[in-house]
Structure 1
Amino acid sequence: MSTQPLIGQSVSRLEGHLKVTGKAKYAGDYTTSGLLYGYIVNSTITKGKITAIHTEEAKALTGVIEVFSHENKPSLAWLDLKYADMDAPPGTVFKPLHDGDILCNGQPIALVVAETFELARYAASLVRVEYEEEHFETNLKNNLDKARAPKIGLATLLKPLPPKPVGDFEKAFNQSYAQVEAEYSHGTEHHNPLELFATTTIYEKDGKLTIYDKTQGTVNCQVYVANVFGLSFKDVRVISPYVGGAFGSGLRPQYQLFFSVLAALQLKRSVKVMLDRHQMFTFGHRPPTIQHTRFGADKDGKVNALNHSAFAETSQFEDYTEVVVNWSHMLYPAENTLMEYKLVPLDVYSPLDMRAPGGSTGIHAIESSMDELAYKLNIDPLELRLINYADRDVSVDRPYSSKELKECYLQGAEKFGWANRNPQPRSMKRGNKLVGYGMATGIWEANRLPARAEVAFTKQGKLQVKSAVTDIGTGTFTVISQIAADELGLLLGDVNFSYGDSKMPFAPIQGGSFTIASVGTAVREACKALRKKLLKKAQKMEGSAFADASIDDVVFREGAMYRKDDPSIFVKLTTVIDANKGRPVKTTNFAVPNVFKLKKYSRATHSAAFVEVEVDEELGVVNVTRALTVVAAGRIINPKTARSQVLGGMVWSISKALREETISDYNLGKYMNPNLAEYHIPVHADIHELDVMFVEEKEEILNDLGIKGVGEIGLVAMPPAIANAIYHATGKRINQFPIHLEALL
């Protein structure tokens, strides 16, 4: 009479059929009668002022309703917020149409609204703008003299600044038996999810707004719209049930949301605004970063000196930061450290979190430096990491809540066949291809944020679960349903999870690998409270066999409540609802992490990546022929969706290491390849044998579910493992991402 637990099962995505058949509706798919379409005009200069904007020709077209610019914008609230949204860095949030000042190339400066999208786009091409240009700077490397420490703000809570120096780094490094010193550079990367950013704002008769938006945070966008336009929160509803990829680009409200709402309120009509692919390059990006490392070790391989410095780009109006240099001391217990992180304000739009922000940048420098150190010491790269293995996070002198990284190393090495590697560079060949093996360590923070959830059991025998959380394609819908079903002992089909709606219970933005740890915990707590309520209702039933039972005396399974001491005694949950006059039994719970408990531990997901590459000896073309990522992430709720997340990170790793880069023309201050034809990402032919393993890890501190996130961990270790494998294959250490084939010729 037992129901098999759903947690731990590889359940296929519940919404998968809707997506592959085209029935899932995204933000740009919604329509209504009388819907208008907006198309945004972007600045063609990088810095200066608009001296005149000519809209007459565009407005003369039949079907063009209005052209909005800074000259005719309505009065906006803005409330002069320092933090206009949950993910805003310190500084002043960008305010579209605030004035005629141009802060960066591609800045949105006008909106054409028309009866059709095609007409709006054509009319936008007729808008003529006159500028007064000013001198600008967009080159990070040429402006390192302007580097400064980041401003401290609320974002520092989730993105801590570098730790203070420990010991005497300079002395220890100079006296080290083995030393490595290197510079690493990462080019600009832009978010290019499959779904373009779109907002459809439905203007209701009572002046309320129902907004379908591509976002990673419905509540975040609701707060943003209400604050900017001076509206009541209850009059703004943001819905985002399906998101066609985001990876951080939807953490902050993007400017199409502002323009869609602006036009809808002014015209009292429903308005849809969608960005085209070119415009996807006009907001947010992974910032170019220059790093310097100096690592020292004794003759036995024990690292005794760590120096990691990073210089990253930010805008002139916000201090966007990443955690880049903190990771090395978390992994390797050196007694002498020096970590530095500085920003260089440039005339660009503010950077934006992109999958594994900071981690995928910093880990490359750290793990390639460790690889170089291994060669100098003539120690196997894996053995060097085992020599420097730490059970505690010595950077803050705290134990890890859980850490099975050593098992990642050992199990991964065995499965990959690391022992078959000839340690000498250029020693392994396959035909005319040089073969290389590389490995690297991965680490990503395991966080948890407050979240709220509502659950209700109905007379139809269904468990209704509600949360404002989005599902950006990571499997949130499925995994939350599994958690809820197990808590009430139900079949998966008896759980109805409603999500992606700001009118539902609060959820934080979806990102940072903390969603299931946060929202999943809230759902679990709500279900536990619901079990107690159902027991109380059962105790009040006439002749109840549960009158003297406590919650520990009963078990929920197969849609019923059973006595543990006598499984023949049970009551169906629908019978309890019938006794409640058919009314659902529901509860809403707010799950808040115990910060005092969490502060006693460092919390992280760990991984080890192993990579094989083939490098054409004559052409320099690199192929990642096989790769393995081994992850320790606590309890895995759904191995199938978790594996999919890590695989996605591994594909992106190939992109980051070998393909992906936005090219800048510093004389024009603009990006030169804002399209998917010239912004190179991997295709099917680039992806070969990829595998994922999860090691057993018991996590009891972060949350009662014992889980950690896996969204970012698949991306942090594999890019340096690729670089290390290329060195092993060719004897050339290339420290610039992406690695171009001409560097290997």
Structure 2
Amino acid sequence: MTVHFRQDEPDNRNLLDSFGQKIIGKPLSRPEGLAKVTGTAPYSAEYVVPGCLHGVLVTAPFTKGRISRIDKEAALAMDGVVAVIDDERMTVRPAQGTAGKAPKQDPREIAYHGQPIALVVAETFEQASHAAKRLRFDFEAQDPAELPLDPAAVDAKLKKGGTQTGDLAHAMATAAHSVDLTYTTEGHASAAMEPHAAIAKWDGQKLTVYASLQMPNYNIAELADALGLDEDAIRLVARYVGGGFGSKLGISQETLAASLAAMELQRPVRVIMTRRQVFQTIMRRSETQQRLQLAADAEGRLTGFGHEARVSNLPAEPFAEPVLQSSAFLYGGENRLLQLEVARVHRMTAGSVRAPGEAVGMPTLEAAMDCLAEKAGIDPVELRLRNIPDKHPTQDLPFTAHGLAECLTKGAEAFGWDHGPRKPRHRRESEWWIGTGMASAARVHNVAEAKASVTLNPDGTATVQSDMTDIGTGTYAILAQIAGEMLGLPGEKVLVELGDTAFPRGPGSGGSWGAASVGSAVSVACEEIRNRLAGKAGVSPKDLKLEDGRIAGSSGRPIGDLLEGQPLSVVGHYEPGAISEDFAASSFGAFFTEVRVNRHTGEARVSRMLGAFGIGRVLNAKTARSQCIGGMTWSIGAALTEALLFDPRNGHLVNCDLAEYHVPVHRDVPDLEVLMLEERDPAASAIQAKGVGELAMCGGAGAIANAIYNACGARLFDFPMTPDRVLAALPD
């Protein structure tokens, strides 16, 4: 049976606080951890499929133009080659201006350097790779013309959103203190450890695909649409995903290519992207140019708030990096201007990468707030405290909960923040200047429709199933804890099965909504199971006490005794309702960091960093802390090292591997301190949980930028803040 719960109003019952198992929030280890570290957990390329062929993608060596001919015959004559697939469904893109709708452009037309044009399939990977490198084709290349963020490339028809209230220009002109600053951020790659890979097999009626995917619930519809199949004819399996960070939200070329080849050849086909192909082909985060205008009165309270941004994407792509997402509500200011523009450039598709929007919007806002604090002579923490709004500044909605003030004050106390006068170059050790900086954190909170089945077995175990994925976030652990808590079972007695579209549809991993959404679906199912157990036990549900697999109290009977030898299974269906229209929801936090800057080389090193985060209910202290550490590490990368670099002559990506795209490594990351501030937010979800992983990236790079200035006096406006940029900005 299925039980549906639509959340139209805050749920103040706090159910997870009322049970006796007491495993919610505990730092339990991942149940799949041993399988992962011993290499027995199969990732998408590792499933053993007899008779599997190997496919290698061939990509365009130019940025814009047209493929006029592919010489399949020469490739097919090579040893082991079975087919050259150039099906237009693999390469076609929407025509410019259609925003994803027909008519389609010529399938031979190329929109970016690295766009796949064919798949070479052979008996072995080596044979396929050899033939792919030697596949001959004729093409006509064109000058891509557009430069990133060039005003001439802006698509006037696709200015995204926008808010204008009051008179910002007047507020700036009459303000006691104001700043008008322009920042740039470079593009980012997801850089997940596991490359994109897929194995597809077709039995004539059903397509089974093992792939590295974040959202099978959506991916199955995407693949069905691309192939012209019904969803019932497809099964997707993504039990283990070696990181995604946005790059695996949708199906990408390897999944579609493997599927097309398997259906055409009637044999299973494995397609694995090389690391260079992942960088060149899979979506990027857009570079940005941002203007911040902040006006404040003599006490530092904002009277004007302006944030304008320009981002880029391919022609016809509807996505635009939502840079202004948290700027809409983080601080007050009655005179407001928020505007986002999209420039059309010929680079790989821009899409969601690691906290889309706030990851690049928050650092610039927080750097600008530091400049305003300096002008006003106000401590940066105090400036932010004075500007926390009582409600959403433009939507006139109350917040579900607002933990920013607590994060700022408790974070400052735990870090040892010096609230005294702040001047650059106040501390030096040998050749290193040392400074501190801080920033606020905010990330919109989302929940999504989710389903999960929970089965209580007569032997005192339970099984949880959903096509929800675990991309390293701890989903296997937290779902076992939710079910165990509500059914009175130790965590090890709950088997969690994920990542298979044969199971009920979950929300997918993305947008930091997974835990709150699918966790709520599990709680809905478990609550119904408890109700039915109470009926069998002859007590009211609130009087039913379940602990350690037994009915607590005088009887101490095993829970399985109530089942009469039959499993009890319920599908929980959670759906966010009108509550999303009645409240503004966000997670909040604060970063505090200490940075050393070398006076000779300009090198910046983060020596200490603390993050304080209000994330609703903590479901697992270990996995939540791990997510926070991951987000803070991303902040270090965004601040100091990460940048996609394109050759301006022909548009190709220059640094398309992990040797040249500089993610933070162990030497770059100090011991990170995490302060998790629990709250009960009854409007956030049925289990009062909020997203955490992306929040811990939103603003951290700004704290590092502010610490660099405090250390050495170099005020930088371009991210990442590499040594050459620091040296150029050092005052005489």
Matches within 5 A, 1:347-366: 347-366=346-365
Measure, in 2, the Cα distance between the counterparts of 1:550 and 1:697.
Answer: 29
Larger mean CA deviation between 662-671 and 519-528 belongs to 662-671
Question: One-letter code of the match for 1:583?
Answer: Q
Larger mean CA deviation between 496-505 and 380-389 belongs to 380-389
2:624 corresponds to 1:618: no
Match of 1:408 in 2: 407
Let me know the Cα RMSD of the aligned residues. 2.2
Q: Is the Cα contact below 8 Å between 2:45 and 2:197 reproduced in 1?
A: yes
Structure 1 unaligned runs (5+)? Answer: 83-88, 153-160, 539-545
Once the two structures are TM-superposed, the CA of residue 150 in structure 1 deviates from its matched residue by 2.8
Match of 1:573 in 2: 559
Matches within 5 A, 1:139-218: 139-144=147-152, 146-150=154-158, 161-162=161-162, 164-204=163-203, 206-218=204-216
Q: Deviations over 1:634-669 (max 9, x none)?
A: 111111110100100111111111101111112201
Q: Deviations over 1:131-156 (max 9, x none)?
A: 1122313422334563425378xxxx
Matches within 5 A, 1:130-141: 130-141=138-149
Once the two structures are TM-superposed, the CA of residue 262 in structure 1 deviates from its matched residue by 0.3
Match of 2:551 in 1: 561
Once the two structures are TM-superposed, the CA of residue 392 in structure 1 deviates from its matched residue by 2.0
Once the two structures are TM-superposed, the CA of residue 27 in structure 1 deviates from its matched residue by 0.2
Measure, in 2, the Cα distance between the counterparts of 1:207 and 1:617.
Answer: 67
2:52 corresponds to 1:52: no
Q: Deviations over 1:92-137 (max 9, x none)?
A: 2799997211111111000000001111001001111211122313
Measure, in 1, the Cα distance between the counterparts of 2:460 and 2:157.
Answer: 57
Measure, in 1, the Cα distance between the counterparts of 2:368 and 2:90.
Answer: 51
Once the two structures are TM-superposed, the CA of residue 235 in structure 1 deviates from its matched residue by 2.1
2:569 corresponds to 1:586: yes
Q: Is the Cα contact below 8 Å between 1:607 and 1:717 reproduced in 2?
A: no
Going from structure 1 to structure 2, the CA distance change for 1:381 and 1:94 (only over 3 Å counts) comes to: farther
* Percent of aligned positions that are identical: 35
Once the two structures are TM-superposed, the CA of residue 605 in structure 1 deviates from its matched residue by 0.4
Q: Is the Cα contact below 8 Å between 1:446 and 1:514 reproduced in 2?
A: yes
Question: One-letter code of the match for 1:560?
Answer: R
Match of 2:14 in 1: none
Picking from 666, 679, 683, the partner of 1:701 is: 683
Aligned to 2:261, what secondary structure does the other structure show? Answer: helix
Measure, in 2, the Cα distance between the counterparts of 1:342 and 1:307.
Answer: 14
Once the two structures are TM-superposed, the CA of residue 276 in structure 1 deviates from its matched residue by 0.2
Structure 2 unaligned runs (5+)? Answer: 1-18, 728-732
Measure, in 1, the Cα distance between the counterparts of 2:591 and 2:394.
Answer: 23
Aligned to 1:624, what secondary structure does the other structure show? Answer: strand
Measure, in 2, the Cα distance between the counterparts of 1:491 and 1:142.
Answer: 58
Q: Is the Cα contact below 8 Å between 1:189 and 1:285 reproduced in 2?
A: yes
Q: Deviations over 1:642-697 (max 9, x none)?
A: 01001001111111111011111122011111111111122211111211101232
Match of 1:475 in 2: 474
Going from structure 1 to structure 2, the CA distance change for 1:300 and 1:18 (only over 3 Å counts) comes to: same
Measure, in 2, the Cα distance between the counterparts of 1:743 and 1:313.
Answer: 24
Aligned to 1:670, what secondary structure does the other structure show? Answer: coil
Measure, in 1, the Cα distance between the counterparts of 2:104 and 2:589.
Answer: 41
Once the two structures are TM-superposed, the CA of residue 283 in structure 1 deviates from its matched residue by 2.1
Q: Is the Cα contact below 8 Å between 1:96 and 1:109 reproduced in 2?
A: no
Q: Is the Cα contact below 8 Å between 2:325 and 2:357 reproduced in 1?
A: no
How many correspondences in the alignment? Answer: 707
Match of 2:247 in 1: 249
Matches within 5 A, 1:131-530: 131-144=139-152, 146-150=154-158, 161-162=161-162, 164-204=163-203, 206-281=204-279, 282-419=281-418, 423-530=422-529
Q: Deviations over 1:23-70 (max 9, x none)?
A: 111001112221100000000111111112112222111211001114
Once the two structures are TM-superposed, the CA of residue 233 in structure 1 deviates from its matched residue by 1.9
Once the two structures are TM-superposed, the CA of residue 169 in structure 1 deviates from its matched residue by 1.0
2:5 corresponds to 1:5: no
Going from structure 1 to structure 2, the CA distance change for 1:345 and 1:141 (only over 3 Å counts) comes to: closer
Question: One-letter code of the match for 1:254?
Answer: S
Aligned to 1:368, what secondary structure does the other structure show? Answer: helix
Going from structure 1 to structure 2, the CA distance change for 1:481 and 1:640 (only over 3 Å counts) comes to: same
Q: Is the Cα contact below 8 Å between 2:424 and 2:712 reproduced in 1?
A: yes
Going from structure 1 to structure 2, the CA distance change for 1:196 and 1:741 (only over 3 Å counts) comes to: same
Question: One-letter code of the match for 2:44?
Answer: A
Measure, in 2, the Cα distance between the counterparts of 1:658 and 1:149.
Answer: 35
Aligned to 1:626, what secondary structure does the other structure show? Answer: strand
Measure, in 1, the Cα distance between the counterparts of 2:325 and 2:308.
Answer: 10
2:633 corresponds to 1:635: no
2:120 corresponds to 1:112: yes
Measure, in 2, the Cα distance between the counterparts of 1:208 and 1:705.
Answer: 37
Q: Is the Cα contact below 8 Å between 1:306 and 1:329 reproduced in 2?
A: no
Q: Is the Cα contact below 8 Å between 2:523 and 2:572 reproduced in 1?
A: no
Going from structure 1 to structure 2, the CA distance change for 1:103 and 1:224 (only over 3 Å counts) comes to: same
Question: One-letter code of the match for 1:740?
Answer: T
Q: Deviations over 1:606-661 (max 9, x none)?
A: 01000100000111111000000000111111111101001001111111111011
Measure, in 2, the Cα distance between the counterparts of 1:641 and 1:446.
Answer: 19
Once the two structures are TM-superposed, the CA of residue 208 in structure 1 deviates from its matched residue by 1.7
Q: TM-score, normalised by structure 2?
A: 0.93
2:709 corresponds to 1:719: no
Question: One-letter code of the match for 1:340?
Answer: Q
Going from structure 1 to structure 2, the CA distance change for 1:729 and 1:334 (only over 3 Å counts) comes to: same
Aligned to 2:248, what secondary structure does the other structure show? Answer: coil
Match of 1:29 in 2: 46
Question: One-letter code of the match for 1:61?
Answer: M
Measure, in 2, the Cα distance between the counterparts of 1:76 and 1:196.
Answer: 19
Match of 1:603 in 2: 585
Aligned to 2:405, what secondary structure does the other structure show? Answer: helix
Q: TM-score, normalised by structure 1?
A: 0.92
Q: Deviations over 1:438-477 (max 9, x none)?
A: 0000100111111011111112221111111000000011
Q: Which runs of 4+ in 1 moved over 4 A?
A: 75-78, 93-98
Question: One-letter code of the match for 1:744?
Answer: V
Larger mean CA deviation between 487-496 and 341-350 belongs to 341-350
Match of 1:155 in 2: none
Match of 1:156 in 2: none
Once the two structures are TM-superposed, the CA of residue 597 in structure 1 deviates from its matched residue by 2.3
